[in-house]
Amino acid sequence: MKRLLVFTLSASILLLSCKTVKKEIAINTDKKPKNILFIAVDDLRPELNFYGANHIKSPNLDQLASESLVFNKAYCNIPVCGASRASLLTGMRPTRNRFITAHTSKDKQVPNAKSLPFLLKENGYTTISNGKIYHYNKDDVAAWDEMWQPDKLWSYALPESQEIRKNTKRGLPFEVAEVHDSVYRDGKLALKVIQDLKKLKQSNQPFFLTMGLMKPHLPFTAPKKYWDLYDRNQIELPESYIQPKTTPKQAFHRYGELRNYENIPKKGHLPDDLAKELIHGYYACVSYIDAQIGLVLDELKRLELEDDTIVVLWGDHGWNLGDHKLWCKHVTFETALRTPLIIKVPGKTKGTKTEAITEYIDIYPSLVELVGLESPNTLDGKSFVPILEGKEPQKDWAVSKFKDAVTLIKGDLFYTEWTKDDGVAYARMLFDHKTDPLELDNLAEKPAYQEKVKALALELRKKWGKDFLTK
Ligand SMILES: [Ca+2]
């Protein structure tokens, strides 16, 4: 009842009531705060039209971007699903020993941290977790009024694919099926989110409604009509389809995640035809999730909730689609660290792009500021709200990491060190994106760059955070 009061009664009445309510009303005034529609897309890389790609068909994302602030230089803090999500939702930077793998549990790693949904729920928001938000379905339960998953466990629509899945480690890497969108999990997810919007429209409480899409994560399964949007013969391998000898060997991996699927060679590089088939499947999945997001955004409009709702869309990390002859994430090339991030704030955004370097731990304090709440002191990021208001950003750098590799992104420079527990480096790589956007020319061992490397190494240690090496 207290939560309902906060947003339905006037400030003057509430100022007379209990202390905690008074604090909230002083922040929120007598107006209902903005809702947040929080769209998380699994393994979506920024190969989208509004980032200049011009070949993936994603009309709904394009439309949303035209009404949003588009972050051209947004970086995840760790390129693996579970850890990236736990870090983003708690606003805490990954360290050497915190937020490490896909199987990261917020409750186990930082049980006392107040997550973004928890803070919102505490302040009167209805919070709903739909689909893939945290890695574990039952993580951070106290933060949510409701947690929902599509009932179907696997990603395959065809009985023969399901049979293969049943008898193998991961099943087929892709599937082309002539089925309705709602046969797959993300189609079911869109219908659930639409249902939620209808219900929430009737409520006096603001909402934090999430839509955690599971594609374009492997396996690349999507209705045939989305595969048909692309001509395989037009698909080309990336320009950076090479692993230069000057790049440390630690920078590459054998993309074991992909090799777990059937019909993928267990070693060596992929045959070109298979590589192109995978790229085709990835594109099909992006178009499929675009359509599902479109259904939800149409409903938001139809219900006249648009002006009251902030929409934020992010992918949990980048993805190598053949870049550097790599597949999947789990590396610190820009292709795995750079992510799509767009935010639509009614009355404030209209398709502007920013070059300000932003990291995922900045999302939590930004959303909190936008709805007029105070951030807990556990947050490591900085709000990007000044950028939304046309002011100078609060910082111009990001730090990402994966296993031993830690990367400082600053200006055009992308500097990675591989370090042991004591913080001493055993391999390095430095790229200058002004002259080498594809990251093919490692400068870190060149004599002319030794002073620069020394300075970057020092700066990296300052910026990775005081707890970075703590056990
Ligand atoms: Ca992911």
- Residues 80, 169, single domain; the answer is yes
Q: Is residue 416 in a domain?
A: no
| Catalytic choice (76, 135, 285, 317) | 135
- Residue 450 in domain: no
How large is the average pLDDT for residues 408-412?
Answer: 97
pLDDT at position 10 is 38
Lowest-pLDDT choice from 10-14, 24-28, 242-246, 408-412: 10-14
| Domain end point (choices 373, 396, 419) | 396
Domain annotation covers residue 81: yes
* Residue 321 located in a structural domain: yes
Enter the DSSP assignment of 406: E
Each residue's pLDDT tens digit, 54-104: 899 999 999 999 999 999 999 999 999 999 999 999 999 999 999 999 999
Domain finish residue from 396, 418, 443: 396
Task: Judge if 12 and 114 occupy the same domain.
Answer: no
Residue 2, pLDDT above cutoff 90: no
pLDDT tens-place string over residues 359-380: 999 999 999 999 999 999 999 9
Sheet holding 405-410: strands in order across? 397-402, 405-410, 413-419, 425-432
Give the residue among 192, 33, 210 at the shortest CA–CA distance from 125.
33
Cα-to-centroid distance, 163 and ligand 1 (Å)? 25
- CA 174 to chain CA centroid, Å, is 22
| Claim to verify: residue 150 and residue 273 sit in the same structural domain | yes
Distance 43 CA to ligand 1 centre (A): 4
Span from the CA of 283 to the centroid of ligand 1 (angstroms):
16
Whether 273 and 350 share a structural domain:
yes
Residue 135 catalytic? yes
* pLDDT, position 8: 40
Q: Is residue 6 part of a domain?
A: yes
Is 447 inside any structural domain? no
- At 471, the pLDDT band (50, 70, 90 cuts) reads confident
Boundary-marking domain end, from 396, 418, 446 = 396
User: In this predicted structure, what is the pLDDT of residue 153?
Assistant: 63
Does one domain contain both 155 and 262?
Answer: yes
Domain count, the chain: 2
Write the pLDDT tens digit of every residue in 169-184: 999 999 999 999 999 9
**Dist. CA 136 → ligand 1 center (Å):** 13
Q: What distance in angstroms lies between residue 324's CA and the mean position of ligand 1's atoms?
A: 19
Check whether residue 202 and residue 94 sit in a common domain: yes
Q: Which residues pair with 342 in a beta bridge?
A: 70, 313
Q: How far is the CA of 45 from the centre of ligand 1 (A)?
A: 10
Residues 153 and 279 in one domain: yes
Q: How far is the CA of 256 from the centre of ligand 1 (A)?
A: 15
Q: Give the pLDDT mean for 146-162.
A: 89
Write out the residue range of the structural domain in which residue 3 sits. Answer: 1-31
**Does a structural domain hold residue 382?**
yes
Q: Are residues 11 and 152 in the same domain?
A: no
Q: Within this chain, do residues 11 and 109 fall inside the same structural domain, yes or no?
A: no
The CA distance from 38 to 30, in Å, is 24
The chain-wide mean pLDDT, for the chain, equals 93
Average pLDDT over residues 243-258: 97
Residues 6 or more apart in contact with residue 268 via CB below 8 angstroms: none
**Buried-state track 153-170, b at ≥16 Cβ within 10 A, e below 16:** eebbbbeebbebbeeeeb
Per-residue pLDDT tens over the stretch 314-325: 999 999 999 999
Percent of the chain with pLDDT over 70: 93
Q: What is the domain-level CATH number for residue 73?
A: 3.40.720.10
Indicate whether 11 and 94 sit together in one domain: no
What does pTM read for this prediction? 0.93
How many A from CA of 80 to the centre of ligand 1? 6
Closest CA to 459 of 404, 395, 402: 395
Query: What does the alpha-carbon distance between residue 223 and residue 178 come to, in Å, rounded to a whole number?
Result: 6
Mean of pLDDT values over 386-397:
95
Q: Is the pLDDT of residue 291 over 70?
A: yes
Mean pLDDT of 337-345: 98
115-153 pLDDT per residue, tens: 999 999 999 999 999 999 999 999 999 999 999 999 766
Residues 18, 76, 81, 269: which is the catalytic one? 81
User: How far, in Å, is the centroid of ligand 1 from the Cα of 27?
Assistant: 35
Q: Is the model's pLDDT at 203 over the cut of 90?
A: yes
Asked whether residue 182 is assigned to any structural domain, the reply reads: yes
Looking at the fold, whether 8 and 73 belong to one and the same domain comes out as no
pLDDT in tens, 435-449: 999 999 999 999 999
- What confidence score (pLDDT) does residue 423 get? 87
> Are the C-beta atoms of residues 146 and 205 closer than 8 Å to each other?
no
**Local structure of 334: helix, strand or coil:** helix
pLDDT of 158 > 90? The answer is yes
Identify the pLDDT of residue 21: 37
Residues 242 and 390 in one domain: yes
Confidence of residue 345 (pLDDT cuts 50, 70, 90): very high
pLDDT above 50 for 3? no
